[in-house]
Amino acid sequence: MQITEATLFRLSGVSAIGAGLIFAGIQPIHPADELASVATGLWAVIIALKLVMCLLFMIGFTGIYARQAQKAGWLGLAGFALLTVSWFLQTGFVFVELFVLPVLAAPAPAFIDSYLGVVNGHPGIMDIGALVPTYAVLGVCYLLGGLLFGIATIRAAVLSRWPAIMLAFAAIITPAAAFLPHALQRYAAVPMGLAMIWLGYALLSERHRSTVAKSPGRAKPGTAAAA
């Protein structure tokens, strides 16, 4: 198969849609972030999906940024860089949740309580070093990255502005979710997932229209008859 620019953008669009579907879809069924969950089958399935989701997010945002890089300017680059750092760090946390925590469930429950306390807001008794400030950096990059990238996408006017508005809105409401119970905080991720699905579809449909418009074998209705 010949790898073309259109193929890469298509791959990015599909990745963005996949990331958004997973991000929004797992929230109602995500197991509780507690020791009793990490050795269950549901935990293994959901966290494995989250690991795939992190990779899809990075691919999707890369394609979306590349499509509008010239018009998104430094604001778009800053938003893209922050989002990349956020999802790169998130990939590390999810990797530990998938491959490390289940193994330590029996021998080191204190570590698991302390590790998951970073997420659920109930710090454990064990000092887990730089994981706490790293998770804070992740959150700040997620918030600012989504806001800046959404604004830059609106200003670039290459893709539809409505999913970009939703992306910025999802970033803005993230701090407010901290005042909700942890079980409800997850639903703040749903707007981000929907925005990602919409942006992926916008990228796919925009590239399709561009391809059709540039195709030499396609003429406007009535052109052949006039000739």
For 56, half-sphere exposure in the C-beta direction (CA atoms, 13 angstrom radius) is: 23
Q: What parts of the chain have a pLDDT lower than 70?
A: 1, 207-227
CA-to-CA distance for 136 and 139, rounded, in angstroms?
5
Structure confidence at residue 68 (pLDDT): 95
Q: Three-state secondary structure along 167-186? A: HHHHHHHCHHHHHCCHHHHH
CA-to-CA distance for 78 and 140, rounded, in angstroms?
13
Structure confidence at residue 208 (pLDDT): 54
Structure confidence at residue 144 (pLDDT): 96
Amino acid at 42: L
DSSP per residue, 110-167: HHHHHHHHHHHS---SS--TTHHHHHHHHHHHHHHHHHHHHHHHHHHTSS-HHHHHHH
Q: Are 46 and 26 in contact (CB under 8 A)?
A: yes
Q: Are 152 and 73 in contact (CB under 8 A)?
A: yes
Structure confidence at residue 141 (pLDDT): 96
Structure confidence at residue 139 (pLDDT): 92
pLDDT in tens, 81-90: 999 999 999 9
Instruction: Give the predicted TM-score (pTM) of the model.
Output: 0.86
pLDDT in tens, 100-114: 999 999 999 999 999
CA-to-CA distance for 87 and 79, rounded, in angstroms?
12
Structure confidence at residue 1 (pLDDT): 60
pLDDT in tens, 33-51: 999 999 999 999 999 999 9
Structure confidence at residue 214 (pLDDT): 54
